[in-house]
Amino acid sequence: MKNQQVPEPGVIDAVGGTDPAAVPSARELIAGLTAMLAQGSVVGHEAKTLAEELIRVGRGRSEVEPKRGDGRFRDPAWQDNPIFHRLEQAYLTACQASDNLVDTLEEKDWSHAQKARFLMGIVTSTAAPTNLLISNPAAMKRARDTRGASLAKGFTNWLSDVRSHGGMPTTAKPGVLQVGEDLAVTPGGVISRDDVAEIIQYTPTTTHVYARPTLIVPPPIGRFYFLDLAPGRSFAEYTVGRGIQTFMLSWRNPTKEQADWSIDTYAQRILSAIDDVREATGSKDVNIIGFCAGGILNSVVLNYLAARGDTRVHGASFAVTLLDWSGNNPIAAFQAAPVISLAKWRSRRNGVIDAATMGSAFTWMRPNDLVWNYWVNNYLLGQDPPVFDILSWNADGTNLPAKLHEQFLDIFAQNNMVNPGALEYLGTPLDLSTIKVPTFVMGALSDHLTPWRGTYRTTELTTGRSTYVLSNAGHIAGLVNPPGNPKASYFVGTRAGTVDADTWREKAKQKTGSWWEAWADWTIKHSRAEVEAPKTLGSKAQPVLIEAPGLYVRDQLIS
């Protein structure tokens, strides 16, 4: 499982439910396509180039090849069979022409270009010859070898998805990996529980621990255990192994009865969780780290504490968090008012917005990886989805309360967190510049959901001493990044927040390894001296209620 290669899932919690909850409107997509085709001379040039290359393809003289990492054309027949080889090259040539038109438009009209790219990505990925049995040599060979059994299994898989998955291919087989047995198995105990969340304290694995504990704040949609996957791939397991006293918030999966839960609800729970951690450890203050939208919530908490001169938090970390939604963010191209209004209406009507609805736009932003890859595997090849911890977690979605969803949509659409006083939470005007605690900010180089330059902005918006680290991977691959992978690396530099992102990157140095190591080193420096590890979890006032991973991660409630 550790070395298995699978596409990165389309995680919706990554941006805290700020997804419009639907693909862009037809009007927007048509506008983008119209703008692309209106480039008269450019379209003419690309048409001529396409025709010339297709002639070379027909004559067997084309040198067009799939891009590195494109696994659709891995079967030898795509190179050895002249018919399949020409079909492959013709398809790739047409895709390149489409990309060139969008790239040219992007130089003049970024917003329309993103809509055109979204639409053409769906069109070109759908048109891939690998998506049809008759033009997929691997699927035809498997059908022959299994005497049609693969086709029968594929049809069964398709029927099952139509009935239970909205007609979309399943990315993970339910029930194969169990929470508490295969995933989320780092030892610990729940020391606090209320209607909103449980607090998990993880069992130390070192004889001594650092005195100042760390509270992990996951995003409020999705289960926390992407930070506690299989052993060897668990952030929680790694942190206790470094001697960091580690606590995790496990959010309850809300239903329509919790429709009015808001940013204030979640931020208040973080504040009480900080006190839970202080009580359990005897520490006067804590460090916190927020992942994705958990970082947005943490910024609200830090602003509240700063306004009151409250020093309960010593240092704060932000992992792939966007506080500033301006800039060339692919998702930001879909901030149209009608789409936002529709998303709000949906969640108000139901009381919650579910993970499947929120994930739709993200899925179609990467259709080759997140749709057609599984279409071919599940239906044409008649195979079960791969067994992989991240895919199992990604399929285990949760809801977002209507009120919180609406607030995140407003942040996404209006980008008003960066305007001092434009928002008020916990009875306190939000001004990110009041956050003066030391910060560690992490971004991911190839992140298409929270682009790294946007995450870097946090070092400029807050005013404490900042450290910025840039992982070499994508959004989730950047987060689930255990040490030991020889291909993993990260960039470290100086003067974060005092120079712009590109200047920082120019002077940054690349190191082999995981950003987890850089974060742990930073956290240890902000965690005071070592003390003897506690023999038991919790305290007299907060005894262990149940072993980790607790009840809420399994949607179990105490009546």
d(CA 128, CA 336) in angstroms, rounded, equals 30
Domain containing 495 equals: 188-322+434-554
Q: Predicted confidence band at 359 (pLDDT cuts at 50, 70, 90)?
A: low
Say yes or no: 132 and 217 in one domain.
Answer: no
Say yes or no: 454 and 318 in one domain.
Answer: yes
Taking CA atoms, 533 is separated from 56, 202, 204, 206, 320, in Å, by 70, 12, 7, 7, 31
Residues 6+ positions from 498 with CB-CB distance below 8 Å: none
Res 107: pLDDT: 84
Res 335: pLDDT: 59
Report whether pLDDT(342) > 80.
no
244: CATH: 3.40.50.1820
**Apex 343 CA angle, 341 and 344, nearest 5:** 65
Q: How much is the average pLDDT of 209-214?
A: 98
Q: Could you report the per-residue pLDDT of 26-39, keeping only the tens digit for each?
A: 666 677 778 878 88
Say yes or no: 113 and 197 in one domain.
Answer: no
Judge whether 380 lies within some domain.
Answer: no
Report which listed range, 164-178, 200-214, 387-401, is most confident. 200-214
Report whether pLDDT(214) > 60.
yes
Q: How much is the average pLDDT of 332-354?
A: 69
Domain boundary among 92, 126, 146: 146
Say yes or no: 109 and 196 in one domain.
Answer: no
Taking CA atoms, 540 is separated from 187, 246, 273, 502, 535, in Å, by 20, 19, 16, 51, 13
Q: Predicted confidence band at 243 (pLDDT cuts at 50, 70, 90)?
A: very high
Say yes or no: 442 and 549 in one domain.
Answer: yes
Judge whether 96 lies within some domain.
Answer: yes
Say yes or no: 137 and 215 in one domain.
Answer: no
d(CA 423, CA 304) in angstroms, rounded, equals 12
**Residue among 441, 457, 450, 447 at smallest CA distance from 515:** 441
Domain boundary among 118, 146, 174: 146
Lowest mean pLDDT among 64-78, 379-393, 418-432, 473-487: 473-487
For the chain, the helix, strand and coil percentages under 3-state DSSP, each to the nearest 5: 50, 15, 40
Say yes or no: 123 and 211 in one domain.
Answer: no
User: Percent of the chain, pLDDT > 70?
Assistant: 91
Report whether pLDDT(341) > 80.
no
Q: Could you report the per-residue pLDDT of 78-136, keeping only the tens digit for each?
A: 999 999 999 999 999 999 999 999 999 888 887 788 888 888 999 999 999 999 999 99
Res 116: pLDDT: 86
Domain boundary among 116, 146, 176: 146
Say yes or no: 209 and 291 in one domain.
Answer: yes
Res 516: pLDDT: 97
Res 333: pLDDT: 57
Q: How much is the average pLDDT of 265-278?
A: 98
Report whether pLDDT(459) > 60.
yes
Say yes or no: 85 and 216 in one domain.
Answer: no
Q: Could you report the per-residue pLDDT of 276-297, keeping only the tens digit for each?
A: 999 999 999 999 999 999 999 9
246-251 and 489-492 beta bridge pairing: unpaired
Res 1: pLDDT: 42
Complete DSSP assignment for 240-258: HHTT--EEEEEE----GGG
Say yes or no: 301 and 441 in one domain.
Answer: yes
Q: How much is the average pLDDT of 313-331?
A: 89
Residues 6+ positions from 137 with CB-CB distance below 8 Å: 75, 77, 78, 81, 84
Judge whether 398 lies within some domain.
Answer: no
Helix/strand/coil for 290: strand
Q: How much is the average pLDDT of 227-255?
A: 97
Lowest mean pLDDT among 10-19, 349-358, 532-541: 10-19
d(CA 200, CA 548) in angstroms, rounded, equals 6
What is the number of structural domains in the chain?
2
Lowest mean pLDDT among 2-16, 280-294, 407-421, 429-443: 2-16
d(CA 66, CA 86) in angstroms, rounded, equals 12
8 Å CB contact between 225 and 179:
yes
Report whether pLDDT(493) > 80.
yes
Say yes or no: 193 and 44 in one domain.
Answer: no
Taking CA atoms, 295 is separated from 15, 16, 195, in Å, by 10, 9, 21
d(CA 251, CA 227) in angstroms, rounded, equals 13
Res 202: pLDDT: 98
d(CA 476, CA 466) in angstroms, rounded, equals 23
Judge whether 90 lies within some domain.
Answer: yes
Res 360: pLDDT: 67
**Apex 521 CA angle, 517 and 522, nearest 5:** 120
Sheet holding 546-547, edge to edge: 509-512, 489-492, 466-471, 439-444, 313-319, 286-291, 214-217, 246-251, 197-202, 188-193, 546-547
Q: Predicted confidence band at 24 (pLDDT cuts at 50, 70, 90)?
A: low
Judge whether 197 lies within some domain.
Answer: yes
Res 40: pLDDT: 81
Res 412: pLDDT: 86
Q: How much is the average pLDDT of 200-215?
A: 98
Between 441 and 448, name the one with better pLDDT: 441
b (16+ CB within 10 A) / e for 282-296: ebebbbbbbbbbbbb
Give catalytic status of residue 95 as yes or no.
no
Say yes or no: 113 and 223 in one domain.
Answer: no
Report which listed range, 35-39, 163-167, 192-196, 366-370, is most confident. 192-196
Report whether pLDDT(311) > 80.
yes
d(CA 10, CA 361) in angstroms, rounded, equals 9
Question: Which sign, positive or negative, has the C-alpha torsion 471, 67, 358, 555?
Answer: negative
Judge whether 239 lies within some domain.
Answer: yes
Judge whether 177 lies within some domain.
Answer: no
Judge whether 376 lies within some domain.
Answer: no
Average pLDDT, the chain: 90
Report whether pLDDT(16) > 50.
no
Q: Which of 273, 292, 430, 461 is catalytic?
A: 292
d(CA 349, CA 19) in angstroms, rounded, equals 17
Lowest mean pLDDT among 144-158, 278-292, 393-407, 420-434: 393-407
Between 25 and 11, name the one with better pLDDT: 25
Phi and psi angles of residue 393, each rounded to the nearest 5 degrees, phi first:
-65, -45
Res 332: pLDDT: 58
**Residue among 129, 128, 252, 231 at smallest CA distance from 183:** 231
Query: Which tokens in the block code for residue 244?
Result: 């960091």
Res 167: pLDDT: 86
The single residue listed with the structure tokens 């291909």 is 487
